[in-house]
Amino acid sequence: MRTETVTSAQNPKIRNLLLLQEKSKARRGQGLFVVEGRRELEHCLEAGFRVRTVFYCPELAGSLPEGVCLPEAEKRVDVSGRQTSSGTHVIEIPEALYRKVAYRESTEGIIAEVETRTLRLEDLELSEHPLIVVLESVEKPGNLGAVLRSADAARADAVIVCDPLTDLWNPNLIRASLGGIFTVPTVCAGSAETIDWLHARGIRILTAQLQDSSWYYDTEMTGGTALVMGTESTGLTQIWRDAADAHIRIPMLGHLDSLNVSVSTAILLFEAVRQRNS
């Protein structure tokens, strides 16, 4: 394990950490994203992600999470054929500096730079009767993070993000998911590609929409099911409405005609769970 101590906010490693937190272009270019907090990092490690660098404040963190200290003796071969160390680079930083770079309070003094990993639809391993969430053109990373938490709680097979307007490695998304981005297989794909993939596997497409729809609790969800959610402002595009096997809606008894997409998704997910366990 390689270690060093950094005390200045002007250090290039600290400046790059902040760049990765703020810019999706930097995350894409470097193939890295930022994980903040012990619990989130532990889920990340359990999912097999490779941690490149850990910024560690001993006063706040105590010990490092198990799995961070990879032995430098382990080797791997990169794309150019060179052998490189798989050891995590640990950088100790004082509490004052940690407070400047941390996104939130009470994250146990640990921030990590982690290598991105891309899943494709073909990589998904499905159960016998898969339960899948599809989100079309989700814009707010906090909403996607909250959906991932519900998907984890409902033991959904996957979340598919079609035509996304935010990247999966946005720190706000990771934080809102509480590590759900690591526990639920998550794929970005086009709508047409996803529809073909679902049809090929006999998975029913249920679109959440107000028009021409039935109550969600009157709709069968015990077989392979994809719950398709659109944006709160415009709903689903026509390609999904046309592809649907059924249109479903949640009763709205007040004056407003929409719920937050993460709340709506949770309601539908747990209806599927109820049906499958009744």
- Is residue 242 scored above 90 in pLDDT? yes
- Is residue 73 scored above 70 in pLDDT? no
Q: pLDDT of 151-208, one tens digit each? A: 999 999 999 999 888 889 999 999 999 999 999 999 999 999 999 999 999 999 999 9
**Helices 141-153 + 261-276 axis angle, to 10:** 10
CATH number at residue 7: 3.30.1330.30
pTM of the predicted structure, to 2 decimals: 0.87
Longest dimension (CA), the chain: 63
Q: What share of the chain has pLDDT > 70, as a percent?
A: 89
Residue 213 or 76, more confident? 213
CATH number at residue 188: 3.40.1280.10
* Structural domains of the chain, count: 2
Phi, psi dihedrals of residue 252, rounded to the nearest 5°: -115, 105
Tokens at 76, concatenated: 């791997």
Residue 69: what pLDDT? Answer: 52
Tokens at 221, concatenated: 């969800």
- State the pLDDT confidence band at 2, using cuts at 50, 70 and 90: low
Same domain, residue pair 97 and 185: no
Same domain, residue pair 40 and 84: yes
Same domain, residue pair 109 and 134: no
- Least confident residue range of 73-82, 158-167, 178-187, 257-266: 73-82
Same domain, residue pair 76 and 93: yes
Which three-class secondary structure string do you get for 136-196?
ECCCCHHHHHHHHHHHHHCCCCEEEEECCCCCCCCHHHHHHHCCHHHHCCEEEECHHHHHH
Smallest Cα–Cα separation from 73: which of 63, 84, 64, 82? 84
- State the pLDDT confidence band at 258, using cuts at 50, 70 and 90: confident
Domain boundary among 115, 143, 163: 115
Which range marks the domain in which residue 266 is found? Answer: 121-276
Domain boundary among 84, 115, 146: 115
Same domain, residue pair 141 and 267: yes
Residue 68: what pLDDT? Answer: 64
